[in-house]
Structure 1
Amino acid sequence: MSEEAPKSEGRGLRAWLFGRALHVYFLLTRSMTLGVRAACFDGDGRIFLVRHSYIPGWHMPGGGVERHETMEQALEKELREEGNLAISGRPQLFHVYFNNRTSKRDHVVFYRVEVTQTAPRKPDLEIVESGFFPLDALPPGTTKATYRRLEELSGSELPSNYW
């Protein structure tokens, strides 16, 4: 965990401390962290992305799985919280990744889902921007991991075992 304090990336010290506090909390309360993340597509084939306050770039929405939750319950909760998204139909499990960039014990269960948005997502302390984007017009700052997952979903790349 060698993340440096924010410089001029638009993240404030408060947001960076919030992100670091979450990682310390998870380190103290969980022997292994497990998260869910999804490629969320609307009826027009656009993908939903979020920009967090505590890490740079545009990402697919997701978050941690709590002890009392199934993967799909966690996914539904995270999509609702991060984008006011409702899942249409059944989520399609795509792959499970080892996210060794975050820690030596983090795993991500990745889904493909069709969604509808119940209301626009207003910015807050965690999510500063969000929206649907055509696949050929992703916003500047979209992360390399997001691009890799989209290539894997399209079949142009084989799924990696690492996020």
Structure 2
Amino acid sequence: MFRRAMTLGVRIAVFDEAGSVLLVKHTYLKGWYLPGGGVDPGETLEQAAIRELREEAGIVPRTPPEFLSMHFNRNATQRDHVAFFVVRNWTRDPNWERPGHEIAEIGFFPVDELPQGTTPATRRRLMEVRNAREACAFW
């Protein structure tokens, strides 16, 4: 019997000094999301988080991303999992000019004033971080 391989992704909550969170809007999906994406072969979760932040927003963590939780993303497939990280100490890549073709918009938003269209999973993760609540097992 053939079994499909598990898929693995990362999402990262990046906060600025004012406590606002970075969100991205993809060209191929509706809504606002935490930055992130798939883990490439041979890559650790942390390496994927760092790569995705640089690609999508030109952000380079000064300290390793803080792993918070792992979630089953049953909305994608029956085999998708997402690792969730937080980054509070970061800088901009001086060579980064703009996001690649898959990012339509990026911005920092106060957690109490998230833009319309922020996905429910994004809102759940931010509330877990903000309220230091135990993470839900599902993305």
1:158 matched residue in structure 2: 134
Q: TM-score, normalised by structure 1?
A: 0.76
Contact 2:56–2:99 (Cα < 8 Å) also in 1: no
Question: Gapped runs of 5+ residues in structure 1?
Answer: 1-29
Backbone CA RMSD of aligned residues: 1.8
Q: Which structure's CA Rg is the greater one?
A: 1
* Corresponding residue number in structure 1 for 2:62: 88
Q: Is the 8 A contact 1:37 1:111 kept in 2?
A: yes
Determine what percentage of the aligned residue pairs are the same residue.
47
Query: In the aligned structure 1, how far is the partner of 2:65 from the partner of 2:107?
Result: 20
How does 1:3-14 map onto structure 2 within 5 Å? none
Deviation at 1:125, TM superposition (A): 2.7
Runs of 4+ off more than 6 Å: none
| Letter aligned with residue 129 of structure 1 | E
The residue type equivalent to 2:10 in the other structure is: V
Q: Which residue of 2 aligns with 1:111?
A: 85
Mapped pair 1:143 → 2:114: no
Matched length: 134
Instruction: Provide the rounded CA distance (Å) in 2 between the counterparts of 1:137 and 1:121.
Output: 27
Structure 2 unmatched ranges of 5 or more: none
Q: Which has the higher helix share?
A: 1
Report the Cα distance in structure 1 between the residues aligned to 2:97 and 2:20, rounded to whole angstroms. Answer: 16
Q: Does 1:43 align with 2:13?
A: no
Q: For 1:158 and 1:76, locate their aligned partners in 2 and report how far apart those are by CA, in whole Å.
A: 24
